[in-house]
Structure 1
Amino acid sequence: MRIIRMTAAALALGAGPALAAQDTITLGMQLEPPNLDPTGGAAAAIDEVTYANIFEGLTRFAADGAIIPGLARSWDISEDGLTYTFHLAPGVTFHDGTAMDAGDVKFSLDRARAEDSTNAQKALFAGIADVAVIDPLTVRITLSAPDGGFAFKMAWGDAVIVAPESAETNAAAPVGTGPFKLARWVQGDRIELERHPDYWGAAPALSKATFRFISDPNAAFAAMMAGDVDAFPVFPAPETLEQFKADPRFTVIVGSTEGETVLAMNNKQKPLDDVRVRAAVAHAINRQDIIDGAMFGYGTPIGTHFAPHNPDYIDLTGISAYDPEKSKALLKAAGVSDLTLRMALPPPTYARRGGEIIAAQLREIGITTEITNMEWAQWLEQAFRGKDFDLTIVSHTEPMDIGIYARPDYYFQYDDLGFQALLALLDNTSAPEARSGLLKAAQGKIAMDYVNGYLFQLAKTGVANAKIKGLWENAPTQANDLTGVTWEE
């Protein structure tokens, strides 16, 4: 059997910490995570605190989006693509002092793929047929079919390794293997992390990190200006960025994210179960007006659920181009008039501001919207899990997540056998050119089916003290990775 070997030699995460004048940091976040267990919640804010800081997986995302070693320092892939053998780093312990070994990897993956799993991304593990412990530092994963994206899937926050002794209490008292551990969580205000003294890898430069939750854009601006917050990696008031750019105390960091911002439509809710009605909604949307009005020009128009910076992206904005007269004709053809739709809006600025703009655009084609502003927990319960909505606006920040459209029970309830077959073929394909063709076909399929109104790719607009170095410019996943952050003298 020919073995494909991947090693960590050239992929080290970095040297030891540089000396810095300051070794603590306070970060601002608009949303507080509902819990701190990335294996049991869908909110992006969970990973924004825990990814690479508290919890680690077999593989991980680097700042440039590359897949690099995590707890697995190398892995072998069998010639038939069905077997991945991961070789774990030695001497790894959890924050409670217990050893992390292959048994914990098996426990974590079996738990995530179990029938009663509550993992928000359970589909990541659906292709696993068996997980076997070879020895304490070696685990063999057998797949039911070849999957060229398996190492990518293991880098998600939902695939972190947890211990059986603490897995059930990670939501409030997370115990991981990362360079930081939870010091305190003052709910409604802040989460404090402290450096884990027995971390198995290179020690971070920071000794302490505080995440402060500031939902109001005006308060976020005031906190940055006053120095109460050292950095706000995803700043909620883009209209003030020019002021920060003009102030030498600050650095404005503008990059890209994996966040496809969509006007999600409930595909099983009448009359949105009619593709003509969904198309009418999509053609009523002027994307640039939303980008300018809600995001002050920060954002890239999209016509499908795929990131423009991905090499396999195709520009399909023309399929759902702004055309209100076409919208009116489609509604007439569908026999729909005097339509009122419920729009559930979660807290982020792009949703609240964007929702008001879209409501005005829909009025132009004769659709009335009833807007309900929801807190994050309410949105997750009612819209995401309960599917009780007509329209909602949300940015999907998970990396390359077009596969969610193959899940009939996902919150927008798109159930198309053709698309599901396309994604099944993609999962079983390893050749890069073939995968590229399938990804492009998938993008076209959901665009032509007008599953959602595709708005824009969320820009990563952050503000930081100019002395801070090492914050991610782009966001290949939803994270505030502190492992490389330092202060200049």
Structure 2
Amino acid sequence: MHPRKSLTLALAGLMLATASALAQPTEIRIGVALEPPALDPTAGAAEAIDVVVYQNIFEGLVRIDQTGAVQPGLAESWTISQDGLTYTFTLHEGVTFHDGTSFDAEDVKFTFDRLLAEGSVNAQKALYEPISDVTVVDPTTVEFTLSRPDGLFLFNLGRGDAVIVAPESADNNGAEPIGTGPFAFVQWDRGSRVVLEQFGPYWGDKPALTKATYLFIGDTATMTNALLAGDVDGTNNFAPEALAVFEGNPQFKVLVGSTEGETILSTNNAKAPFDNLLVRQAMAHALDRQEVIDGATYGYGVPIGTHFAPHHPYYLDLTSTYPHDVEKAKALLAEAGYPDGFSATLKLPPVAYARLSGQIIASQFAEAGIELELINMEWAQWLEDVFANKDFDLTIISHVEPFDIGIYANPDYYFGYDNAEVQSLNDQLNATTDEAERLALAQQIQTIITQDAVNGYLFELAQTGVWNGKLDGMWQNAPVEGVVLRDIHWVE
């Protein structure tokens, strides 16, 4: 071959390769079922907030990876005193918030003073109660003093509730969030989408993605069509009843993993007749857990008998405590003074697992004489009426916060359970770092809340993601709430 022709072909090949490289996508469109009520994870309980902002817009001193392990975040390292009461964090230098203001130890102190303040609206404020003082040693060093050892302190610092915010922007983070993360907030078209773009001056490793758009699509059929048409590139948690459309299709990746979502028939323990243990036990016997799993999760849910994730080493299998037994349920209702049963309302948030579970449970309860009126609610209404105002009889919800059994030690929590023994055991659990002791205490609490039938324990929610087959780096499991963008990238 003529050398000049060979050179021309080589250059053409190089140009084609370069064009191909330039054509590699760097944007992603993610479909999510729920629109967040706001975008500040330090001021709201909704998982939908963290799905958009966790580790994307906002970062903590540490971060949780997809295995559930604690990794460095805004703190590059830390030391722990021998008595477990002093944590000293060394912060990364050169970090800025998305509005250009600098990050340093003063922002850390501000964040936790605000979180622990009397008027704080942080949904998990109780988790940080052991913090007695936060001291700025110098701009890149901050010291936490605890009132007691806390075996989950570092993990809790990695949750969305503890991301670092700045005094200059904190008050407006609900509408225009400003953090230190690899992606900056661009716009929120309410009812439609949130747009994020890569933050140029980001202090850490640059993500492959330059832009991410979260599209709010609550209807399964619409989400299915959007995925098939390529209008969205993936979703982290797709309706299991429609997964068969994508399984075996090489154009898509179906990722089935675990979550921290204990799905429960949440019960208002402070309200008659549910303040009666016999009534709650009757409801537990009326439940056919496997039927709910088969009907509401299409077999993907894992049965639970208590409020704990089955994949956790502390989990105790208590699923046989109240076996499905309609006659036993009727006998317990009669003993409780309800020989003819009773009527109640079941308020359901707008997620498929709740709506489907509600229909199945209503049928099961009817066999025992309990008539349920199903009330479908939008997410904001559910958060206000049920979670905040405790205006409900029964509801169905997946509690997705990791290691959240401590909510049973809070009598003011929305399901109104008040048990001094559980509160004492939880205090002991929080105070010890010895693994054998923690295991024993956690299993004691699990046993008590199951025997008390505080709630109807149904199943652990699976994470069922559907993604474009050319995407990689998505989390298969969900040890914390969020759709973390940092490792997602397009491949050939």
CA-to-partner distance for each residue in 1:355-385, whole Å, 9 max, x for gaps?
Answer: 0000000000000011110000000000000
Amino acid of the structure 2 residue aligned with 1:464: W
From 254, 257, 260, the equivalent of 2:259 is: 257
d(CA) in 1 for partners of 2:22, 2:276? 61
CA-to-partner distance for each residue in 1:187-240, whole Å, 9 max, x for gaps?
Answer: 00011100000100000000000000000111111111111010011012x122
From 271, 274, 280, the equivalent of 2:273 is: 271
From 356, 365, 368, the equivalent of 1:365 is: 368
Question: TM-score with structure 1 length normalisation?
Answer: 0.95
Amino acid of the structure 1 residue aligned with 2:185: L
d(CA) in 2 for partners of 1:67, 1:441? 26
**Residue in 2 that maps onto 1:147:** 150
Amino acid of the structure 1 residue aligned with 2:428: L
CA-to-partner distance for each residue in 1:244-294, whole Å, 9 max, x for gaps?
Answer: 012110111100000000000000010100111011111111111111111
Q: Is the counterpart of residue 469 in structure 1 residue 466 in structure 2?
A: no
**Residue in 2 that maps onto 1:175:** 178
Amino acid of the structure 2 residue aligned with 1:462: G
Identity %: 57
From 388, 393, 409, the equivalent of 1:390 is: 393
**Residue in 2 that maps onto 1:228:** 231
Asked if the contact 2:59/2:179 (under 8 Å) is kept, the reply is yes
For the residue of structure 1 that corresponds to 2:320, the secondary structure is helix
For the residue of structure 2 that corresponds to 1:317, the secondary structure is coil
d(CA) in 1 for partners of 2:342, 2:72? 52
For the residue of structure 2 that corresponds to 1:272, the secondary structure is coil
d(CA) in 2 for partners of 1:59, 1:446? 32
CA-to-partner distance for each residue in 1:109-156, whole Å, 9 max, x for gaps?
Answer: 111011110101111111111110000011111011111211011111
Aligned pairs for 1:5-404 (under 5 A) are 21-236=24-239, 238-336=240-338, 337-404=340-407
What is the Cα-based RMSD across aligned positions, in Å? 1.1
Alpha carbons of structure 1 residues 424 and 199: separation in structure 2 relative to 1, 3 Å: same
d(CA) in 1 for partners of 2:80, 2:369? 56
Whichever of the two has the greater Rg, that structure is: 2
Amino acid of the structure 1 residue aligned with 2:334: K
For the residue of structure 1 that corresponds to 2:355, the secondary structure is helix
Asked if the contact 1:179/1:483 (under 8 Å) is kept, the reply is yes
Asked if the contact 1:20/1:488 (under 8 Å) is kept, the reply is no
CA-to-partner distance for each residue in 1:309-358, whole Å, 9 max, x for gaps?
Answer: 10111110011221111111111111113300111000010001110000
For the residue of structure 1 that corresponds to 2:44, the secondary structure is coil
Asked if the contact 1:20/1:487 (under 8 Å) is kept, the reply is no
Structure 2 unaligned segments of length 5 or more: list them: 1-20
- Say which is worse superposed, 164-173 or 316-325, in terms of deviation: 316-325
Amino acid of the structure 1 residue aligned with 2:463: K
Asked if the contact 2:341/2:368 (under 8 Å) is kept, the reply is no
**Residue in 1 that maps onto 2:423:** 420
For the residue of structure 2 that corresponds to 1:329, the secondary structure is helix
Structure 1 unaligned segments of length 5 or more: list them: 1-17
d(CA) in 2 for partners of 1:90, 1:352? 48
Task: Give 4+ residue runs of structure 1 displaced > 3 Å after superposition.
Answer: none
d(CA) in 2 for partners of 1:324, 1:153? 41
d(CA) in 1 for partners of 2:63, 2:333? 46
d(CA) in 1 for partners of 2:235, 2:325? 37
Asked if the contact 1:359/1:369 (under 8 Å) is kept, the reply is yes
For the residue of structure 1 that corresponds to 2:477, the secondary structure is coil
For the residue of structure 2 that corresponds to 1:99, the secondary structure is coil
For the residue of structure 2 that corresponds to 1:318, the secondary structure is coil
d(CA) in 1 for partners of 2:133, 2:59? 21
Amino acid of the structure 2 residue aligned with 1:283: H
What is the aligned residue count? Answer: 471
Asked if the contact 2:104/2:140 (under 8 Å) is kept, the reply is yes
Shift of 1:59: 1.1
Q: Is the counterpart of residue 432 in structure 1 residue 435 in structure 2?
A: yes
Shift of 1:51: 0.4
Shift of 1:19: 8.9
Asked if the contact 1:184/1:191 (under 8 Å) is kept, the reply is yes
Amino acid of the structure 1 residue aligned with 2:315: Y
For the residue of structure 2 that corresponds to 1:471, the secondary structure is coil
**Residue in 2 that maps onto 1:13:** none
Asked if the contact 1:399/1:477 (under 8 Å) is kept, the reply is yes
d(CA) in 1 for partners of 2:91, 2:283? 50
d(CA) in 2 for partners of 1:176, 1:92? 10
d(CA) in 2 for partners of 1:426, 1:324? 36
Alpha carbons of structure 1 residues 89 and 20: separation in structure 2 relative to 1, 3 Å: farther
d(CA) in 1 for partners of 2:69, 2:479? 8
Amino acid of the structure 2 residue aligned with 1:416: N
For the residue of structure 1 that corresponds to 2:214, the secondary structure is strand
**Residue in 1 that maps onto 2:14:** none
d(CA) in 2 for partners of 1:419, 1:19? 59
